[in-house]
Structure 1
Amino acid sequence: MEGSIKKQKRKLTHDAYTVGWVCVLHSELNASRAMLDEEHEQLESDRKDDNSYLLGQMGKHNVVTVFPGLGTYGTNTITQTVSNLLWTFPNIRFGLMVGVGGGVPRPPHPQDPRQNIRLGDVVVSDPKGKNGGVLQYDMGKWRDSRKFEIESHLNKPPKILLQAIQLLQSDHDFGEGEMKHYIREVAEKSNILPAFKAYRFPGRDQDLLFKADYRHFDGGDCSACDVQLTEKRLDRESDDPEVHYGIIASGNAVMRSAQHRDELRDAWNVSCFEMEAAGLMDSFPCIIIRGICDYSDNHKNKIWQPYSAVVAAAYAKDLLRVI
């Protein structure tokens, strides 16, 4: 309202922040900011720390969001970013790596469409056996057979997060989570903030899973691709996102090959591909949360990125609610 007084932000100390939230893309930063219940005043950083931070409160937690900046991707960059974060904010208890990733589809489920990963769903890193939940798929050795053998021994998330995930799963099973509410709140922002129109649900007609052997037709989107060569999947009763728990594959290159995607899926039971998590797991006690914005093939576009960033952030905020 014109003439109203802007509310002054609270200023806390570096020691007051206990949750580190890591993101990379502009849409991921906006999604994080949209989840804050209260935004705090910026604090000065050490001259050796070139990170940018967003400070605020979510529920009971004081959260510091760190973002390395536009055009910076990969496991090595994020390692330095997190090192600076932990130096500047010494009381960080655990971290959340929140953003978008490429889904790894499986053959369509014959009965329950909720089992299949769809665009706009969420994948959360989940330890399986000796695997800590994140697989660095570009780290390994070439054997005499000219076959690349992955060697991945990354740490598991801290116990506090693993326990919280189980509790949140139970909440969601009983329909008691707040994730859908948080997503709706961001959608309502689009009525007053034009930039947030892109963060709305794009529509299931924009969710196309092409057969693995069908390559993308030249062009920015898939308007020229043959929809007759998409996988036939059962419709869900709701467009609300499903949450999947599994292995997240991380590396320094974008996964654009459906064939390679499926090979790693079958060999390692991978559910998602992304580019930063492997740089965190051994130095930052955290969980990886990815909103699915494509199918890790060459039919990529950015239509789903903003919405998928929101659903990942909504899950992260719901996870903080139960901690």
Structure 2
Amino acid sequence: MTGMDDRLDEAGDWLVRLQSDALSEEDALAFDAWLAASPENGRAYDAVVAASHEIDANRMALRLALSAQRTRNPIVSRRRLFWGGGLAAAAIAASAAIVVLPAGVQTYATAPGERQRIQLADGSSLELNGATRLSARMTGKMRRIELEVGEASFDVAHDANRPFLVDTGDSAVRVVGTQFNVRRRGGRVAVAVARGEVEVGPDGGGLRQHYRLRPGQRLDHAEGATDARITSDAAQAAFGWRAGRLIYRNATLGEVVEDLNAQFARPMRVADPRLAAVRVSGVLVLDDQQAVIRRLALLTPIEAKEESSGVLLQRAP
């Protein structure tokens, strides 16, 4: 077995442990130490997370197909299910579980802690993170999403004649068919690609040039800025929220709290700018808010103070 094989095995073990309800504070600290030991560990973990997303998607499609076919004909053979209409059954089942957007303009919003899956008329699908608002316009000539605030993951159906655009203020993401994530919060935009390619460029101002992103790459820029930063092997962390995990590598505490405020109804704030600038690396499991704060306190020098308006994070003595 090669060194990379060993790392992938270790990464798989960590993924299982991190998804366990019995995850302990010691486990979280040990995972952080494993990530810090080598950049290759982080790349292996990203690869395992990406593979798990594909497996989950295939498993869900199979479950939908089986459920729909049993409803229509309980004694149908499995062979007929897969070769004689399984795709149609899956589509019927999926339409009952996912909001389907008709042509025209539709606006969707989620509250903190809420998520929503949307299926567009062209077959593309979206998943909205908490505290997100966007609108979708679907016509015979264009597919356009305006992300006003928040974060969404996109799985775009291929259509070379109708490019898919995501407006994020003064920049836009342009694709034909791919899987990617877009985040717009606090005056910053981040685009991460899991499959296919996307192009990010100016849309009435801001960026001076167009950037092409490939799988595994992530682009970050401030709204109004003329330049953007691209990083590699960092994209999969952007999809962690879909699995109930927030994954950070050298993020600021302020950025982490901004993300957490999209997950919980009770808002959190950092006491002072110096504390907000403290760097954070690690994984936060999104279960109970108090449990998340306790895990965050293991990664940063904070303590939480309950206020009538929410939770204040201040520097621990």
The alignment's TM-score, normalised by the length of structure 2, stands at: 0.24
Bigger fraction of residues in helix: 2
Instruction: Report 1 or 2 for greater relative contact order, CA contacts < 8 Å, sequence distance ≥ 6.
Output: 1
Larger Rg: 2
